[in-house]
């Protein structure tokens, strides 16, 4: 019965593309699951590491007097000591996380690719691996954010999928890498709209048959340009049940949904709201005012999704961890919030705070605000989004924080 779903000849090989704080954390939890479900997954999880030299300090348990303070390769330290001493120190990794300095070797023959690296590197990585991956591979993007220009909104997962000719979903939630690495319980949301060609029939055939139409609807419900190669029948399926097995841990509860647009946009637009909340608190208002701003921000987020992606958006998505929970955490402890609060407390502009506190580094919330507002203005609908508009006004110095409550009047 080779080729039937009961006894696939292959297991899924999993690669994590990226090895920062969050990438290494995801590699850890995924590797725990490939070991627990070794009928479905190859145990070893490849983790692509951008190679660099590290020095082990003498007070580290990994210090070796024979090596001393000589620089060592990060990949070899990870593979020897099972710890990413640079980006996730003091967390023991399972020995089946295999650090690989070669991007092409790391993704070779992998049927599940997990993308987890900074936004700005994704274009180059896709360019490099294009044509060097399994055509039937499937992706999950752990990268939050979307790319918004005057012309369009592009989800990271869509960008990856279209660049590589594969289908790619998204993982997002109220997640703090170090907490998860320390196995402090939280939840996440995985959005994955299993392509029709991967939906297996009762007799173990793919949904639209071997000769079927392998076009599929993209995240917006449009027919995608990408012609998909189905996941072969001699592999286990890649669907909600399998992805749940790959990501869910006792300390990391996964909720599966199909609404990739809603999950991705909630993860991006919350940055605008986090700026607004920081302004509100820095001005001297309390939690009750902050919840008012958060909820208005969420209503504008839902409206944005409904206005521009009416075919696929599901309102219940916003009650997921990627929606409400991530909004609350981002507006309570994250970077955009912290620096906008500081700006309002000091009565200076956010640009001033970028200069004095961030060495000129840019806050993501500001660029998200600018991009989203340019998209809305190009369509002449910016007035339907008074909170987003006010955040841009505060950043530009044309609107005052004290006037935020006025936006809420009927």
Pick from 211, 286, 359, 361 the residue near a copy of itself by CB under 8 A. 286
Residue pair 254/244 in contact (Cβ under 8 Å)? The answer is yes
Q: Does 324 bind a copy of itself (CB under 8 A)?
A: yes
The half-sphere exposure of 387 on its side-chain side, counting CA atoms within 13 A, is: 27
Pick from 64, 311, 315, 400 the residue near a copy of itself by CB under 8 A. 315
Q: Does 294 bind a copy of itself (CB under 8 A)?
A: yes
Q: Which of 242, 249, 267 is nearest to 171 (CA)?
A: 267
Show the tokens assigned to 41. 């997954």
Residue pair 207/197 in contact (Cβ under 8 Å)? The answer is yes
The stretch near a copy of itself (CB under 8 A) out of 29-37, 116-124, 208-216, 319-327 is 319-327
Q: Report the nearest approach of a copy of itself to the CB of residue 402 (Å).
A: 9
Q: Tokens 């145990």 map to which residue?
A: 43
Residue 52: how many other CB atoms lie within 10 Å: 11
Please indicate if the annotation marks 389 as binding a ligand: no
The stretch near a copy of itself (CB under 8 A) out of 33-41, 43-51, 131-139, 323-331 is 323-331
Q: Which of 114, 251, 122 is nearest to 175 (CA)?
A: 251
Pick from 79, 229, 291, 349 the residue near a copy of itself by CB under 8 A. 291
Q: Report the nearest approach of a copy of itself to the CB of residue 188 (Å).
A: 9
Please indicate if the annotation marks 38 as binding a ligand: no
Q: Please classify residue 42 by burial: count the beta carbons closer than 10 Å to its beta carbon, then call 0-12 exposed, 13-18 middle and 19+ buried.
A: middle
The stretch near a copy of itself (CB under 8 A) out of 44-52, 90-98, 271-279, 287-295 is 287-295
Active-site annotation, residues: 270
Q: Does 113 bind a copy of itself (CB under 8 A)?
A: no
Show the tokens assigned to 213. 């139409």
Q: Report the nearest approach of a copy of itself to the CB of residue 315 (Å).
A: 7
Binding letters toward a copy of itself, positions 58-97, x by CB under 8 A = ----------------------------------------
Which residues ranging from 177 to 236 are in contact with a copy of itself (CB under 8 A)? 179, 184-187
Q: Which of 115, 123, 153, 128 is nearest to 14 (CA)?
A: 115
> Measured from the CB atom, is 63 or 408 closer to a copy of itself?
408
Pick from 37, 154, 207, 244 the residue near a copy of itself by CB under 8 A. 244
**Sign of the alpha-carbon torsion through 43, 178, 174, 164:** negative
> Measured from the CB atom, is 119 or 295 closer to a copy of itself?
295
> Measured from the CB atom, is 154 or 179 closer to a copy of itself?
179
> Measured from the CB atom, is 36 or 186 closer to a copy of itself?
186
Pick from 54, 292, 342, 381 the residue near a copy of itself by CB under 8 A. 292
Residues that bind a copy of itself (CB under 8 A): 174-176, 179, 184-187, 244, 248, 250-251, 253, 284-289, 291-292, 294-295, 298-299, 302, 315, 319-321, 324-326, 328-329, 332-333, 405-406, 408-410
Q: Per the annotation, where are the binding residues?
A: 18-23, 121, 144, 177, 335-336, 362, 364
Q: Per the annotation, where are the binding residues for substrate?
A: 144, 335-336
């Amino acid at each position: 019965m080779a080729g039937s779903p009961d006894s696939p000849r292959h297991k899924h090989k999993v690669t994590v593309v990226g090895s920062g704080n969050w990438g290494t954390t995801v590699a850890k939890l995924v590797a725990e699951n490939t070991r627990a479900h070794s009928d479905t997954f190859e145990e070893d999880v490849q983790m692509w590491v951008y190679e660099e030299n590290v020095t082990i300090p003498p007070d580290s348990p990994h210090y070796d007097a024979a090596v001393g303070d000589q620089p060592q390769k990060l990949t070899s330290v990870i593979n020897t000591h099972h710890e990413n001493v640079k980006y996730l120190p003091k967390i023991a990794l399972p020995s089946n996380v295999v650090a690989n300095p070669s991007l092409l070797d790391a993704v070779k023959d992998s049927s599940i690719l997990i993308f987890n690296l900074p936004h700005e590197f994704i274009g180059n990585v896709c360019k490099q691996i294009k044509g060097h991956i399994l055509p039937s591979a499937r992706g999950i993007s752990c990268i939050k954010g979307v790319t918004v220009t005057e012309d369009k909104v592009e989800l990271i997962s869509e960008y990856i999928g279209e660049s590589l000719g594969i289908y790619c979903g998204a993982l997002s939630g109220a997640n703090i890498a170090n907490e998860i690495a320390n196995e402090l319980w939280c939840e996440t949301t995985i959005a994955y709209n299993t392509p029709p060609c991967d939906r297996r029939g009762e007799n173990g055939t793919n949904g639209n048959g071997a000769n079927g139409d392998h076009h599929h609807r993209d995240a917006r419900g449009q027919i995608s340009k990408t012609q998909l190669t189905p996941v072969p029948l001699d592999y286990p399926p890649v669907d909600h049940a399998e992805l749940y097995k790959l990501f869910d841990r006792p300390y990391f509860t996964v909720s599966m949904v199909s609404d990739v647009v809603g999950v991705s946009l909630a993860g991006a637009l919350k940055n605008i709201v986090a700026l607004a909340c920081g302004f509100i608190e820095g001005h001297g208002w309390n939690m009750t005012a902050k919840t008012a701003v958060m909820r208005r921000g969420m209503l504008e987020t839902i409206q944005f999704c409904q206005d521009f992606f009416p075919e696929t958006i599901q309102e219940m998505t916003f009650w997921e961890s990627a929606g409400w929970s991530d909004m609350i955490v981002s507006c309570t402890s994250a970077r955009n919030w912290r620096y906008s609060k500081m700006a309002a407390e000091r009565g200076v502009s956010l640009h001033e705070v970028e200069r004095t506190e961030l060495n000129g580094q840019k806050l993501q919330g500001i660029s998200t605000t600018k991009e989203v507002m340019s998209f809305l203005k190009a369509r002449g609908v910016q007035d339907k989004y008074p909170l987003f508009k006010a955040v841009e006004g505060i950043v530009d110095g044309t609107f005052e924080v004290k006037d935020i409550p006025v936006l809420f009047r009927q």
